[in-house]
Structure 1
């Protein structure tokens, strides 16, 4: 669920704009408590729109960014905010899901902000969204 700001009158922090791509690496210490094969999901808290969003899964094998109902409602989006999108998706149970639409939102995981097209679906997921790596 999106975290809402504590107080609306506080100034928003400025985002740093730098010309580098952050690299995610793990040390030997990080690896100490894991057992191969390393197939756990990478779950992050990026900034989507104006909110820090928890439980976003990074999946480099996906062809689409997906937004689930908790995030859609938490960002207070409405049907009128969605662009048409009618291609069905397959969920983790291998069942077809018809999207509600698509929305383009800014996402920030480091110093850079990118605009991403999220396909909005109305189905259960333990994640609020799934994003791919560029």
Structure 2
């Protein structure tokens, strides 16, 4: 048997209660697939607010650490070379070619009520997507993504927010 010594003021005080934090559970079910054509092998492509603008064709890639911005978005946001900071590391594109980035830019990216600053690497390369968001963004928001369900879900205050991917944009 062990003895625990408590200061006298602790003996006279009310017992402390543990803080219980109830968080909604992030999960996917068959109901999340209802508006998708199954079976499919489409990428998870969503619309997000980047730099204050609604941006379509943003691919969610949980296998990558790089956040990429392609020329269509760069021009669409009216960005200039002087807006970029230097980014010296070459990248390998999907087709295996070495791509030298134009630079890097930090922009706010909003998903519903949550805003996260994202450092995009700007590249001059063709892509059917306007941007790729990756693990750092997913982790910053606590996002769980599902390519099967074509959705991302994340906690926001005491509820679950979600973004539904677009099969038509992915194709």
Q: TM-score, normalised by structure 2?
A: 0.60
Moved more, 25-34 or 74-83: 25-34
Distance in structure 2 (CA, Å) of the matches to 1:108 and 1:119: 18
1:109 correspondence with 2:111: yes
Q: 1: CA distance between counterparts of 2:25 and 2:131?
A: 21
Number of matched pairs: 113
User: C-alpha distance in 1, partners of 2:42/2:62?
Assistant: 13
Partners of 1:89 and 1:97 within 8 A in 2: yes
Root-mean-square deviation (CA, aligned residues, Å) is 2.3
Q: How far apart, CA to CA, are the structure 2 residues paired with 1:24 and 1:109?
A: 18
Take 1:28 and 1:76, find their aligned partners in 2: how far apart are those partners?
40
Cα distance, 1:66 vs structure 2: 0.1
Correspondence 1:34 to 2:16: no
- The structure carrying a bigger strand percent of its residues is 2
Unmatched 5+ stretches in structure 2 = 1-22, 140-171
| Corresponding position of 2:49 | 47
Within 1, Cα distance between the matches of 2:90 and 2:56? 26
Shift in Å, 1:63: 1.1
Q: Name which one, 1 or 2, has greater alpha-carbon Rg.
A: 2
Which consecutive residues of structure 1, in runs of 5 or more, have no partner in the other structure? Answer: 1-19
Matches within 5 A, 1:92-107: 92-107=94-109
**Residue of structure 2 aligned with 1:89, choices 78, 88, 91:** 91
Q: In structure 1, what is the equivalent of residue 63 of structure 2?
A: 61
Q: Which runs of 4+ in 1 moved over 6 A?
A: none
Q: Give the secondary structure class of the aligned counterpart of 1:64.
A: coil
Q: TM-score, normalised on structure 1?
A: 0.76
